[in-house]
Every structure is written in structure tokens, then in C-alpha cells.
Amino acid sequence: MHVLLISPSKEYPLFDVMRSGFQESNCEVDGFFTDDESDTRKNYIYRRSFPLSYASFTRTYWLKFQKQFYAEINQKILNKVQSKHFDLVLVYNDSFLLPKTLEVIKQKSKIAFYLGDSPFYTSNKPHFLKLLIAADFVFSPDSMWVTQLYNLGVSNIDFELFGFNEKIFFQKEVTEQEKRKYSSDLAFIGRLTNSEWGLKKLLFLKPFLEFDFKIYGPSSWTRWIPDAPELKDKLVILDNPLSLQQMNTIHNCAKLSPVDSNPGLLHGFHARLLDCIGSGILPLVEYGKDLDQVFGEGVVPTVHRYVEGKELAAYYLAHEKERVEKVKTLQEICKSNYTPEKSAQRVLDRIFK
């Protein structure tokens, strides 16, 4: 079986998970990467300008730019899918696909989508919902998205979870040099936007700031120091993004990692949780109902009200044996149900049943 994965970039962690899973399921895997195939300048303008499109451009110019941008990418997608036979084309989010391109693909291949975002929270994806309605199958990491989309007419949709990949995030022996550089009780890696989403994340992390805590991210974090002065001593400002290998090392040099949930997730949880489990660092997770579905009720240490984070962190720092045992339990659950191969095989079984 031949599978084409369409995603933003070959450096995107989820692509590597999916590729590994389908290869282990005896599939030949090819990739198409929209960031690599699109004009870099146009891609930047589109992503940065869409929320302000009517302020940044005249309406006529914007619609013309958007049409040309989509047309160029879709022609390259068509060239790819027509270059050989693919049994399955699996698309991450919408990947700039046009509905008419989807119809051409469906003439020769099954086409499915894996959601990284809710179509209702992505204003820069104007065709997203139409694509999902017309697809052969849709897979979602949020059970509430499944319910929403099923109710409005997406009949072939199911919950699925990609993200656990021990080839990238795994426990290892760290060197003394790595310990000196990265060691801390708590670690967090990520961005903090200058928006309400950014404030939400700051409020989630604030109860953890009194611990031995290192936060790795870009300089945009410093905008929030006036709102949380204690943040200043916790920041490790990065000039360049961390590699996946560096992220794994940081996780291996810490004990706990707070994992927030972006506002678009309704019952789901951030995939960073799976990275933490692989690396052996215990995640303290903003609660979502799907945590109970995936891991069992009460298995994952969860934060309901943000003020609970401080007590939760203090407990596991004081009970190291329990922390280690909890990580092992979470790893066993992921290995039993959510390895790349098992997730990929479920996808194939649902589509080609």
C-alpha cells in the first residue's frame, strides 16, 4: 500500500510519527510539504496577514492574492498525486487544499484528514470545513470535535491519537555537562503570544513559578514580565528553536512539566503530553475529558483550577518514587495503545475495512 502524507514540513514532529507508523504497517510512504513547496514570501504574508487582511490589503487585492497562493500550491499537489498511484492521501489540517483538488484526488485515492486544530478556530483556512465534509474519513484527537463535526454532517469521523514516538522522545542517560546546562525540577518549552491565548498560558504557569523552573522560549516571553515579575528569573531565551534532540535532553534533565491546553481544544489535550511521557518527565496537565478516555480516570496528574498547580507540583517533588511509577504507568499505556504503528493500523483499518 502506498500512502502520501501532506503536512507543513518534513521537520514537523507529527509527520515523522505518521511516517514511522505507516512504514511499520508495511506501507510505502511519500510526503508533500506545503511550507517547502510554497513561495516562502507569499506563505509568510498569508499566515501573518490573514487575521488583518482587510486592514492590510484592499479586499480585491487580498482575494486575488489568496486565489493565486492556493492555486500555486494546489497545482503542485495535483502534480504529486498524479505522478504515481497512492492508495491513501492523508492530510494534516487543510494544508491549503482546495475542494476541487480533493475531488480530483478522490477519483484515484482515498483521502483522509488528521486534525491538529478545530476548523471553527482557524479563520485562515476558508475551505477547511468543506474539505472535511467531502473527505473519505476524518480523524480527530479531540472527542468533542468528533461530536461537533458528526452532528453537522461529517459521518466518517473517529477519535485517533498520533504523537507518541519513542524514537524521538525517550529516556536516556544525561551527561554532567547536560545536567549543568539544563537541570531543573520543572521545565517548559514553548512560545507565549501577545494575546489572550498568551495570557491564558501565563496564568496556567504562574503557580509553578516559585519552584526550580526553567522556561525555554523566544524573546516574546519578556513582554509578560510586568504581569509576572518572577517570570524573569525562570526564562531561558532562545535565539533559535530547539532541536527535537535538545528538547528530549531538557525533558530528561527535569522531573515535571506543566502542559497547558490551547483554547481550541474542548475535550482534548496538547500533544506535548506524549513527548513528556516518552522522555520520562511527569506531565502536569490542564484537564480535558479525553485524558480519562485515553489513560483512564485519574491516571494523569491534572490541573482543573489553575491554582491547583502549585500543590500538585509540590506533591510529586516530595514523592519521587510515586512520580517515577506514574511515568512508567503512562508509558505502558502509550506503548499498549498509541505507538505510531498501532495508530496507523487503526487508520488503515477504518478506511479500508
Q: What is the 3-state secondary structure (H, E, C) of 200-252?
A: HHHHHHHHHCCCCEEEEECHHHHHHHHHCHHHHHHEEECCCCCCHHHHHHHHH
Question: Residue 108 falls within a domain, yes or no?
Answer: yes
Alpha-carbon distance of 126 to 51, in angstroms, equals 12
Cβ proximity of 136 and 106 under 8 Å: yes
C-alpha separations of 118 from 145, 152, 159 in Å: 7, 14, 13
Alpha-carbon distance of 45 to 48, in angstroms, equals 5
3-state secondary structure 322-333: HHHHHHHHHHHH
Mean per-residue pLDDT for 158-181? 96
SS3 39: coil
C-alpha separations of 117 from 27, 125, 165 in Å: 26, 10, 20
- 114 sits in which H/E element: strand 110-114
Question: Residue 168 falls within a domain, yes or no?
Answer: no
Residues 326 and 347 in one domain: no
Is the pLDDT reported for residue 51 higher than 50?
Answer: no
Residues 275 and 343 in one domain: no
Question: Residue 170 falls within a domain, yes or no?
Answer: no
Residues 23 and 156 in one domain: yes
**CB proximity list for 75: less than 8 A, separation 6 or greater:** none
Residues 123 and 203 in one domain: no
Backbone angles phi, psi at 98, to 5 degrees: -100, 150
Here the CATH number for the domain that contains residue 292 is 3.40.50.2000
pLDDT value, residue 125: 83
pLDDT value, residue 53: 46
Question: Residue 98 falls within a domain, yes or no?
Answer: yes
Q: How many domains does the chain have?
A: 2
How would residue 182 be classed by pLDDT, with cut points 50, 70 and 90?
very high
Q: At what angle do helices 13-24 and 340-351 cross, to 10 degrees?
A: 70
Residues 182 and 121 in one domain: no
Question: Which residues lie across from 192 on neighbouring strands?
Answer: none
- Mean pLDDT for the chain overall: 92
Alpha-carbon distance of 83 to 159, in angstroms, equals 31
Question: Residue 169 falls within a domain, yes or no?
Answer: no
Residues 180 and 86 in one domain: no
Neighbours of 19 (CB within 10 A): 20
pLDDT > 70: what percent of the chain?
A: 93
Q: Domain containing 12: what range?
A: 2-163+339-351
Question: Residue 294 falls within a domain, yes or no?
Answer: yes
pTM of the shown model: 0.91
Is the pLDDT reported for residue 184 higher than 50?
Answer: yes
Question: Residue 323 falls within a domain, yes or no?
Answer: yes
SS3 158: strand
Is the pLDDT reported for residue 36 higher than 90?
Answer: no
Alpha-carbon distance of 165 to 340, in angstroms, equals 7
Residues 96 and 154 in one domain: yes
Residues 192 and 324 in one domain: yes
Question: Residue 226 falls within a domain, yes or no?
Answer: yes
Residues 282 and 321 in one domain: yes
- 84's grid cell: 504515481
Residues 118 and 193 in one domain: no
Q: Is 73 exposed, middle or buried (0-12, 13-18, 19+ CB in 10 A)?
A: buried
Residues 121 and 212 in one domain: no
Residues 115 and 180 in one domain: no
Mean per-residue pLDDT for 139-164? 96
